[in-house]
Structures are given as C-alpha cells and as structure tokens.
Amino acid sequence: MNSQWEAVIGLEIHTQLSTKSKIFSGAATAYGAEPNTQACAVDLGLPGVLPVLNKDAVRKAVTFGLAIDAKIAPHSVFARKNYFYPDLPKGYQISQFELPIVGNGHLDIDVDGVGKRIGITRAHLEEDAGKSLHEDFHGLTGIDLNRAGTPLLEIVSEPDMRSAKEAVAYMRKLHELVRYLEICDGNMQEGSFRCDANVSVRPKGQQEFGTRAEIKNINSFKFVEKAINHEIERQIEVIEAGGTVVQETRLYDANKDETRSMRSKEEANDYRYFPDPDLLPVEIEESLKDEIRATLPELPETKKQRFLEQYSLDLESAATLTSSRELADFYEQVVAESGGEAKLAGNWMTGDVLGALNKAGLEIGDCPVNAERLAGLLKRIADNTISGKIAKQVFDKLWNGTATADEIIEQEGLKQITDTGAIEAIVDKVIAANPVPVEQFLSGKDKALMALVGQVMKETQGKANPGEVNKMLIGKLRG
C-alpha cells in the first residue's frame, strides 16, 4: 500500500450457532436437507404464529460473551429489522438493535509476532434468512427456507484493524474461538461462518475516518485478505484521481479478484427497527452466567501458554497444536500414551501427521492413525528400537492399515541392529570398499563421513542406529 495512506477495517462476522432446532421454532437446523422440509409454519411466517426463543441459542451467546470478557446484558431486547426480500417471509428479520445480548469485549491477535488487541463492539442474536436460487426456473426464483430461522450470532468488531493481514488474523482467531467454545461448527463452505468487511482509507495521521464501503459475504480467509487489499487499492485510486469514495455495499468476485458495487446503501438501509412485540425482553440472571462460566473450556491462548511450559514446545508448534481443540486433545493423548514423549510427539504431530492429513484432505478427527497407535510408534523411537528413518516407513503402514507399530516392526523385521559385532563387520566392509571418502575424511573433510554413514545405513537397510554408526566410523578411522 502507498505509505501516505492508512486503511481502517472493521469486520462483522455471522456465526451460525450449532443448535439442533431454530432460534424461534422447533424445526431442525441440519445442513443439506431436501428444500423446505425443515421450514415450519413459524419459519414461513404464516399468520398467527409466535416465536419462542431457544434457550441453547441464548446460552451459546452468553458463552461467547464471557470468553471475550464482555459485559452480558442483564436485559436485552429483540427488534424487527424491516426489509422485503423473498427469502425473508415475514418482511422483517428478528434481530437485536439497541440492547444486544453481548456488549463490549475484545480479542487479542498476533501478526508477525506483534500482539494487538481488537475491540468487539457487540454481539447480537438474530435469525438467518432462507436461500434464493436464481437459475433454472423459467425466469423465476426458487426459494428454500430451510435456513430461515437458524440462529446467528453477529459479532461486530471495532474499526481497529489497519491491514488485511490484521483482519485475517482477527477472523482466524475468532474462528478458532467459536470452535473451542463449541458454539459454531465453523464450516465456511456451508456458510456457518461468514464475514462482511467495512473498509475505508485516510491520510496517515488523520483522526477522522474516511467514507467506508462494506464488502459482503467473503467466505474464506484467503478471499478476505484479497478482497480487502483490493478494496484499499481501489479507494486510494479513486481519491488520488480526485474522486470521492461512495458509501455503498460491494460484492467480492473471487473469479475476477475485484469488488463491484451491489446497491447504493441509502435506500436499502432504511430498516426502521422497532422492538418486536411478539417477544418479551430476555433477562440473564447472574446464576446463569456463573453456571456457564464454570463450564467454559480452556481457551486457545491459555492452552498455548500451558503447552509452552508443560511440554517445552517451541512457540510455533504450540500455536499449531492448539489451533483446534481436537488437535490439542489428540496431542495430549499421544503424550500421555507414549509415557511423556512431549517433544517427539510435537515433532511428529506438526510434521508427519499434519502433513499426511493435509495431503489426504482430512481433519484430525478422521486421522487413520489414532493417538494410541501413534504413541506406540513414538515409544519405539524413544527406546531406540527403530531409527527415525524406519519410523517413517512404519508410519506409512500405520496410516494404511490397522496393525500396531509393534506388530509392523515385528512382521517386517525393522528392529534396529543392536548386535555391535554385526554392525562392526559392515562398517569394516564399507571402509574397505570406499577408499575415496575415507581419504577425504582423513585429510580433514568432515563431510565425507556422511557418505560413509549413508553406505552403512544402506547396507543395514536403515536398521542401524546412525549415531552409533557415526561413532564407530570415527573410532575406526582415527583409531
């Protein structure tokens, strides 16, 4: 970005709360059902129906509020947000306006090792709308109302971010948090976690904000960064060419990597909020907050600090291993089952295991090698039964089968050769057969030793301990 300009970014993130039933009706929220089979009379807005608030949606909102250190409103109110669109059958969305359930809180992010606190203005409960399908219906639009009434928690940040990178870091942190709290499944493909970004630019040093544009529905971390960067550049170009930025809603087009104007906001924005007479104010008792506070899980940041201290991991490994609760739990189980091989487990998890999962497109919950079987492998590395190199072969077999590490080592005869005499014979053979590297080593080229170690490992099919071989070679050559 041009260094005279500073970007100001705030995010509105819609998280679908993972309840079984809708926020105001007893219809199911399961994803992927046949169209309109999970849309009941309340969701359709048929005359005479009344909304009844889902207790679990309220609990999940309170859980989030406590986790970001926010004030939970003792008294909050639902309001009608009025607009007409066919996927909103009532002609209004039940949302919260003046008195949201979650007040001011914050989330700490880290960008390139620099920490920053991002303010969260508020989080409020509301119902999701249905889906419009614009193709293939003889010039008509198809409406599926299964999603209508799904509980959402809209989380609104302060305009505290100054770069697309910070915005992505905040979004990731929030994504991690709602999954830790188990209030949202975080599935971005299915739309469980959606982001709108408010972006403006101003000359560096200026206090007032510039005019902002809102970018709608950017549903991957990658696109958020690209869309925001693109919008920042666009606004700077407009201003430097002597124009002014218009307050409007823009849509990000991932194919063209550009944002385009969706509609001018003035008209669309006249929502005429008023308190919904169908719903009474929601009271949150201290006792409910205490009860939820007592069941809050260990949060990502706390867990990371604990991993650093308890397992002596490096910062990067600790951050990776605590990036989801499932991964952290898996790691801790491996450490426990392996008899405390924390470092080794950390290396294997962040390296081979995550690598293999990535390649196969799997999550830790679907890992073909469970914690117990992985621990079985680590134990054999730790007690020198097998070398690190052989361990990789064993891991492949664990991944593709059901046998334990011990069974594989036994069946395939992969045990390290501990018979010193046998290794000595091979070392002698290698020295005799490789006069050139031997000569090089003796004339001071330490690197030449590696070639000899490699030869011995090859002869033993990887079953010798490389450290031992090293020592033995040096002993013999310098002896």
* Stretch (H or E) spanning 86: none
Instruction: Kindly tell me which residue out of 113, 242, 277, 421 binds another protein, with binding defined by CB under 8 A.
Output: 277
Query: How far is the first Cα of the chain from the last one, in angstroms, to the nearest whole number?
Result: 63
Structure token digits, residue 76: 């909050």
* Residue 45 is a binding residue for another protein (CB under 8 A): no
Please report how close the Cβ of residue 172 comes to another protein at its closest, in angstroms: 28
| Residue 251 CB, nearest approach to another protein (Å) | 8
Phi, psi of 205 (to 5 degrees): 95, -20
Q: Tell me which stretch binds another protein (CB under 8 A): 76-84, 381-389, 413-421, 447-455.
A: 76-84
Strand duo 5-16 + 193-203: pairing: antiparallel
Residue 253 touches another protein, criterion: CB under 8 A: no
Instruction: Verify binding: residue 85, another protein, rule CB under 8 A.
Output: yes
Binding mask 207-246 for another protein (x = CB under 8 A): ----------------------------------------
Contact between 213 and 245 under an 8 Å Cβ cutoff? The reply is yes
Task: Give least dist CB 131 to another protein, A.
Answer: 9
Which residues 145-164 are close enough to bind another protein by CB under 8 A? 145
Q: Which among 19-27, 217-225, 379-387, 446-454 is the span making contact with another protein, rule CB under 8 A?
A: 19-27
Say whether residue 263 binds another protein (CB under 8 A): yes
Residue 262 as a binder of another protein (CB under 8 A): the answer is yes
Cα–Cα distance measured from residue 202 to residue 250, given in angstroms and rounded to the nearest whole number = 19
Q: Which residues contact 348 (CB under 8 A, 6 or more apart)?
A: 334, 374, 377, 378, 395
| Position among 2, 69, 133, 190 found at the interface with another protein (CB under 8 A) | 133
Smaller CB distance to another protein: residue 36 or 470? 36
Pick the closer one to another protein by CB: 85 or 209.
85
Q: Which C-beta is closer to another protein: that of 52 or that of 360?
A: 52
Six-digit token string for 3: 């260094």
With contacts defined by CB under 8 A, name the span among 45-53, 297-305, 345-353, 375-383 that binds another protein: 45-53
Minimum Å gap between C-beta 272 and another protein is 7
Selected binder of another protein within 1, 28, 238, 299 (CB under 8 A): 28
Q: Is there binding between residue 275 and another protein (CB under 8 A)?
A: yes
The whole-angstrom separation of Cα 147 and Cα 160 is 32
Cβ closer to another protein: 97 or 399?
97
How many residues bind another protein, per CB under 8 A?
A: 54
Q: How far is CA 187 from CA 10, 12, 14, 16, 419, in A?
A: 22, 17, 12, 9, 54
* Residue with tokens 């490389």, as numbered in its chain: 466
Instruction: From residue 102, give the alpha-carbon distance in Å to each of 17, 121, 153.
Output: 15, 9, 10
- The number of angstroms, rounded, from the C-alpha of 177 to the middle of its chain's C-alpha atoms is 9
Is residue 34 close enough to count as binding another protein by CB under 8 A?
A: yes
Burial of 26 (0-12, 13-18, 19+ CB in 10 A): exposed
58 binds another protein (CB under 8 A): yes
Instruction: Provide φ and ψ at 456, rounded to 5°.
Output: -65, -45
Q: Does 382 contact another protein by CB under 8 A?
A: no
Q: Does 102 bind another protein (CB under 8 A)?
A: no
DSSP result, 283-344: E--HHHHHHHHHTPPPPHHHHHHHHHHHH---HHHHHHHTSSHHHHHHHHHHHHHTTS-HHH
Rounded to whole angstroms, the Cα distance separating 147 from 43 reads 9
Query: Shortest CA distance to 221 belongs to which of 269, 179, 189?
Result: 189
Q: Smallest distance, Å, CB 267 to another protein?
A: 9
Taking the least distance from each CB to another protein, the nearer of 101 and 405 is 101
Helix (H) or strand (E) holding 94: strand 92-95
Among 1, 44, 451, 474, binds another protein (CB under 8 A): 44
Q: Which amino acid is at 445?
A: K
Q: Does residue 259 bind another protein (CB under 8 A)?
A: no
* The length of the chain, given as a count of residues: 479
Confirm or reject binding of residue 20 to another protein (CB under 8 A).
yes
Q: Which of 251, 308, 403, 451 binds another protein (CB under 8 A)?
A: 251
Binding to another protein by residue 403, rule CB under 8 A?
Answer: no
> SS3 of 152, please?
strand
CB 14 to another protein: min, Å: 18
Q: Which residue has the tokens 């050559």?
A: 477
Binding site for another protein (CB under 8 A): 19-21, 25-28, 34-41, 44, 46, 52-58, 77, 82, 84-86, 91, 99, 132-134, 137, 139-145, 251, 262-263, 270, 272, 275, 277, 279-283
